[in-house]
Structure 1
Amino acid sequence: MKTPVFAIDVGYGNTKYAYRAASGTIATGMFPSLAPLAASRMLSSYGENVLASRKVAIICVEGIEYEVGPDVSLTAAYGNTGRALSNDFVLSDNYAALLAGAMHFSGVTQIERLVLGLPVHNMQRFSTTLKERFAGEIDAGAHRVSVEKVVVIPQPLGSLVSASSNRQNEFGRDSAHLVVDVGYFTTDWVYANGFTMDDKRSGGIPGGASQIYQRIAGLVARDEGEAVEDLERIDKALRERTPFFFYGKDIDLDPYLEKSQPLIAGVVKEMQNNVGQLTNVRSIVLSGGGAALYSHAIRRAFPRVTIEVIDAPCLANAKGFLIVGEAGLARERTRDTTKA
């Protein structure tokens, strides 16, 4: 399948992708950002139709096989799930495997513009590297993908574009908005007038949803007298508002989340110190998988500003990346036509 623009948001928590379907609608997909080493033997394939086959792909990066996809295991024997939490995550083979996995599950084979995002504080360090590494031929497991050009943008701009796509009159040149993207490992924010980013009041720091999961895991471990390494299951329980099952017990995580509020408040304070008073901001747009965890603290920090949690916050950046890529490609084609 050939597509003009393909957008991938390889987050620390989940990998999301978006492209324009034949019907004209935006097609999306998502799977955990886990890339464990592939098993040397796949016993599940011998289930004689009793065991359901898992939706995973084997992706080879630098001669090493990784397993990625919606049904990748959320747990591992000793907590080694294939999650990479480091500031240079985008340089890792795990990142490359997840990116190729998004291409695998979409079925795309040719891409004119691949749009990727980076945390605000990493744009200068890694954008050129991403553009060079993922242009050309990519092994997507069952097939190869040809990428003509890679475009890299600050992650929160994807959410800004996504939020404004159906409300252009609210995002004019003189309309200021603060977009806060609460990811798995980082929290990023963009202060923008229309679509012009204010560099001095935009930023990001390590400290997203994962630090809350780690704090909760520590508190549960203290109460249960047993180490808790299942951060992915804690994430799932909080997102789905279900109890956390641990050694035969259903544990309500709400009290532990309440005890984690000082960590959230610390991140919000850092952001508050950077953006200052928001007297002229029309709204704060919250996106990212951790948006619900941080919304209460952000409302408390900015009580007089309208706060909007974007629809499907996990997918907001990927959808916005797609729209940015389509607009950029349209401009390039118009320019080429004019020159001709």
Structure 2
Amino acid sequence: MKTPVFAIDVGYGNTKSAYRAASGTVATDMFPSLAPLAATRSLSGYGDAVLTSRKVATVTLDRIEYEVGPDVSLTAAYGKTGRALADDYVLTNNYAALLFGAIHFAGVTHIERLVLGLPVHNLKKYSDLLKERFAGDMDFGCGHVTVDKVVVLPQPLGSLISASSSRGKAFNPNDEHLVVDVGYFTTDWVYAKGFAMDDTRSGGMPGGASQIYQRIASLISRDEGDDVEGIELIDKALREHTTFRFYGKEIDLAPYLERAEPVIAGVVLAIQNNVGKMPNLRSIILSGGGAALYAAVLRRAFPRLVIEMIGSPCVANVGGFLIAGEAGLARERRAA
């Protein structure tokens, strides 16, 4: 299947994708950003359908097979889930496997414009490398794909575009907004007037949701007298508002989240130091999979400002990437 624009946000926590379906509606998908080594054998699907097959794909890179997809396991022996938390994440095979997995599950074989995002602090460093690596004809073991061109955007810009699109004519290009995108490993912020980004008041840093989960894990480890390695399950429990099971004990995570607030406060203080006072700001737009974790601390830090939680914060960036990619392709076609 050929598509004009395909947007992917390969986050540290989840991989999100968006494209325009034949009906004209926007199709989105999301699965955990885990790329463990593929098993050498599989028992699922056997036993007269008692064991069901998982929705995963095997991606081959440098003759190594990785497993990616919605049903990839959230736990593994000794915590080796295939999660990569590193500043050079976009250069890893894990990143490439997740990107190719998103394309595979969408059934896309030809992309005119592939739109990707990068944390603000890594944009200049890795943008050209992404454009070079993922353009052209590629075969990743479970399918062949052709990408004509790669476009790279700062991640929070996707949320700003999504917010403006949802407002329609109510979006004023003269309004100033601060977009705070709380990812799994990094927190990024963009100060913008309309769609014009103020580089001096925009930035990013390691310090996303995973650091909160790690802090909660260390607190539980201290209380229970045993190591907690499953931060993916802590993430799942917080998102679904359920308890965290540890050796048969159901643990309420709310008190632990309160005790982890100093981790959040440190990142929010860095944002305050960068943006300064913002008396002319229309609103702070809070986005990303960890947005709900930061909301209370941000409200205390900026008590006089309006803080808006964007709708569907997990896929806000990739939805904005799609809109930006479609607008850019339309301009190129008109110019041609």
Per the normalisation by structure 2, the TM-score is 0.99
Name the aligned partner's letter for residue 43 of structure 2.
Answer: L
Name the aligned partner's letter for residue 306 of structure 2.
Answer: T
> Where does residue 181 of structure 1 map in the other structure?
181
Cα distance in 2 for residues equivalent to 1:63 and 1:327: 38
Name the aligned partner's letter for residue 235 of structure 1.
Answer: D
Cα distance in 2 for residues equivalent to 1:171 and 1:249: 49
Name the aligned partner's letter for residue 227 of structure 1.
Answer: D
> Where does residue 144 of structure 1 map in the other structure?
144
- The alpha-carbon deviation at position 48 of structure 1 amounts to 2.6
Cα distance in 2 for residues equivalent to 1:45 and 1:147: 34
Is 2:254 the partner of 1:254?
yes
The answer to whether the 8 A contact 1:19-1:27 is kept is: yes
Secondary structure of residue in 2 paired with 1:52? coil
> Where does residue 332 of structure 2 map in the other structure?
332
Secondary structure of residue in 2 paired with 1:289? coil
- The alpha-carbon deviation at position 125 of structure 1 amounts to 0.3
Cα distance in 2 for residues equivalent to 1:306 and 1:126: 33
In the alignment, structure 2 segments of 5+ residues that lack a partner are: none
> Where does residue 243 of structure 2 map in the other structure?
243
Is 2:280 the partner of 1:272?
no
Cα distance in 2 for residues equivalent to 1:138 and 1:319: 25
The answer to whether the 8 A contact 2:185-2:208 is kept is: yes
- The alpha-carbon deviation at position 141 of structure 1 amounts to 4.1
Cα distance in 2 for residues equivalent to 1:112 and 1:317: 20
> Where does residue 29 of structure 1 map in the other structure?
29
Cα distance in 1 for residues equivalent to 2:210 and 2:170: 33
- The alpha-carbon deviation at position 44 of structure 1 amounts to 1.6
> Where does residue 211 of structure 1 map in the other structure?
211
- The alpha-carbon deviation at position 304 of structure 1 amounts to 1.1
Secondary structure of residue in 1 paired with 2:44? helix
Cα distance in 1 for residues equivalent to 2:326 and 2:198: 23
> Where does residue 57 of structure 1 map in the other structure?
57
The answer to whether the 8 A contact 1:59-1:139 is kept is: no
Cα distance in 2 for residues equivalent to 1:146 and 1:252: 47
Cα distance in 1 for residues equivalent to 2:239 and 2:12: 16
Secondary structure of residue in 1 paired with 2:245? strand
> Where does residue 164 of structure 1 map in the other structure?
164
- The alpha-carbon deviation at position 140 of structure 1 amounts to 4.6
- The alpha-carbon deviation at position 170 of structure 1 amounts to 4.2
Is 2:7 the partner of 1:11?
no
The answer to whether the 8 A contact 1:103-1:140 is kept is: no
Secondary structure of residue in 2 paired with 1:75? coil
- The alpha-carbon deviation at position 171 of structure 1 amounts to 3.3
- The alpha-carbon deviation at position 139 of structure 1 amounts to 2.6
Secondary structure of residue in 2 paired with 1:43? coil
Q: CA RMSD in A?
A: 0.9
How many equivalent residue pairs?
336
Cα distance in 1 for residues equivalent to 2:127 and 2:229: 33
172-181 or 237-246, which deviates more: 172-181
Q: 1:54 to 1:133 in 2, by over 3 A?
A: same
Identity in percent: 72
Residues 261-312 of structure 1: per-residue CA shift (max 9 Å, x gap):
1110000000010011111110111110000000101111111111111111
In the alignment, structure 1 segments of 5+ residues that lack a partner are: none
> Where does residue 227 of structure 1 map in the other structure?
227
Residues 20-50 of structure 1: per-residue CA shift (max 9 Å, x gap):
0111111000000000000111122333311
